[in-house]
């Protein structure tokens, strides 16, 4: 009886947390268009690149076709000039001669984090005070700069980051990951923000200033860390600046992924969050709104328990579906709602396994993640 009562409380708690996350998600102003400022600001865009995927050219082109009246510079960084992305970048630079764009050979290895190593070298070529850092697989609308650079006019804002959607999921495995990203992740960030100011950054796109980079010691302070985006936001927040989340959503596009590829991606992500925020990550298991109701059902085994558990699961599926609709503004995910409880149960395994190993594979390189998030390359 005692275990049944405990599981009933945990099931109710997990459902309550799910509803809480959905409420803060609904209240957040997504996809809102703001009137552009009359005065524009010059900006440098840093794009570390490695390899090429089917949507790489389209994603990069979206940055070159910005309908922005101010000055903007785009720096594409590669570690090797033999990288297959180089011909694509050169083609785009020739296609848009009016844009201040440049391919930069970031040949020096300046830390364990290869992406940050490129960012350090790209920053040396940046001309402007405002700095945008963006992953290669990010697609943005033509008014992205016009809509979001004004958020940095407030000197108390040290960094602006963005929610992102996994766009165009092409396989069942990617639809499973879309539940995690499009349905859960952004609402969990907003839940955290409802408790305390955000003190981290989301890495798909970040906008900051040269001033803030100088104050924290530059990208060099991130070069040995796995979660460079988290650390960048955290260092800026510790300097007393506010970390803002824009209401504009960017798209992350990638090649079709198998179950194994998605699992490895989610596993690396789980270990990253566990290392960055060990306490909140440990407690995050309490929000699993499929695990605890099902455990309660196994312990209770009554018609009333089954009815309540069924109701809780419907709430879980409904809120996940609504969160995805709010973020993506479409209902293409509805055929994949059966993956919501599957994702939750798989999340239990990811949560447990993330505490058992400190090894990751990133961009084909094996690392050990030391306490605090530092990367140590291993054979």
Positive or negative: CA dihedral 32, 175, 263, 317: positive
Work out the burial of residue 255: count CB atoms within 10 Å of its CB; fewer than 13 is exposed, 13-18 middle, 19 or more buried.
middle
What pLDDT score was predicted for residue 37?
72
Distance CA 318, CA 341 (A): 11
Domains recognised in the chain with CATH numbers: 43-170+190-255 (3.90.550.10)
Q: Render each residue's pLDDT in the chain as its tens digit; 379 residues.
A: 788 999 999 999 999 999 999 999 999 999 988 777 778 899 999 999 999 999 999 999 999 999 998 999 999 999 999 999 999 999 999 999 999 999 999 999 998 899 999 999 999 999 999 999 999 999 999 999 999 999 998 999 999 999 999 999 999 999 999 999 999 999 999 999 999 999 999 989 999 999 999 999 999 999 999 889 999 999 999 999 999 999 999 999 999 999 999 998 899 889 888 888 889 999 999 999 999 999 999 998 889 999 999 999 999 999 999 999 999 999 988 889 999 999 999 999 999 999 987 787 776 778 888 877 888 888 7
The reported pTM is 0.93
What pLDDT score was predicted for residue 375?
84
Token pair of 354 as six digits: 């993330």
In degrees and rounded to multiples of 5, residue 32 shows phi and psi of -85, 135
Give the strands of the sheet with 375-377, arranged side by side.
359-362, 365-369, 375-377
What pLDDT score was predicted for residue 365?
78
What pLDDT score was predicted for residue 275?
85
* Contact by Cβ (8 Å): 158, 236: yes
Positive or negative: CA dihedral 80, 81, 86, 89: positive
Sequence-ordered list of residues with C-beta below 8 angstroms from that of 157, at least 6 positions apart, any chain: 151, 241, 242, 243, 244
Q: Which residue has the tokens 């803002």?
A: 244
* Contact by Cβ (8 Å): 335, 179: no
Token pair of 191 as six digits: 């839940």
Q: How many helical (H) and strand (E) elements, i.e. helices and strands, does the chain have?
A: 14, 11
* Contact by Cβ (8 Å): 315, 342: no
Of the chain, the end-to-end C-alpha distance in Å amounts to 52
| Residue of 242, 255, 232, 62 whose CA lies nearest to 153 | 242
């Amino acid at each position: 009886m005692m275990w049944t009562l405990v599981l009933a409380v945990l099931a109710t708690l997990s459902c309550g947390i799910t509803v809480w996350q959905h409420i803060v998600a609904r209240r957040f102003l997504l996809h809102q268009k703001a009137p552009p400022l009359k005065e524009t600001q010059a900006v440098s865009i840093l794009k570390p690149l490695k390899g090429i995927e089917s949507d790489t050219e389209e994603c990069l082109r979206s940055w070159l076709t910005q309908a922005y009246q101010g000055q903007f510079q785009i720096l594409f960084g590669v570690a090797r000039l033999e990288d297959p992305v180089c011909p694509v970048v050169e083609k785009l630079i020739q296609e848009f001669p009016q844009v201040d764009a440049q391919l930069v050979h970031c040949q020096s290895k300046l830390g364990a984090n290869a992406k940050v190593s490129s960012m350090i070298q790209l920053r040396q070529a940046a001309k402007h005070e405002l700095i945008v850092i963006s992953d290669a697989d990010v697609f943005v609308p033509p008014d992205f700069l016009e809509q979001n650079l004004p958020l940095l006019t407030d000197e108390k804002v040290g960094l602006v980051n963005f929610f992102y959607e996994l766009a165009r999921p092409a396989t069942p495995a990617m639809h499973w990951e879309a539940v995690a990203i499009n349905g859960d992740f952004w609402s969990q960030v907003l839940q955290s923000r409802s408790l305390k100011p955000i003190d981290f950054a989301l890495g798909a796109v970040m906008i900051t200033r040269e001033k803030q980079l100088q104050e924290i010691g530059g990208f060099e302070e991130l070069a040995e860390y796995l979660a460079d985006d988290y650390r960048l936001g955290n260092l800026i927040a510790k300097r007393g600046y506010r970390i803002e989340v824009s209401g504009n959503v960017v798209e992350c596009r990638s090649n079709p992924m198998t179950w194994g590829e998605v699992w490895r991606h989610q596993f690396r992500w789980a270990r990253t969050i566990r290392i960055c925020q060990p306490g909140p990550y440990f407690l995050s298991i309490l929000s699993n709104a499929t695990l605890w109701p099902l455990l309660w059902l196994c312990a209770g085994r009554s018609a009333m328990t089954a009815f309540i558990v069924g109701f809780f699961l419907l709430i879980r599926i409904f809120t996940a579906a609504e969160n995805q609709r709010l973020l993506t503004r479409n209902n293409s995910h509805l055929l994949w709602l059966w993956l919501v409880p599957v994702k939750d149960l798989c999340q239990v395994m990811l949560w447990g396994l993330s505490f058992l190993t400190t090894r990751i594979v990133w961009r084909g390189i094996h690392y050990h993640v030391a306490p605090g998030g530092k990367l140590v390359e291993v054979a």
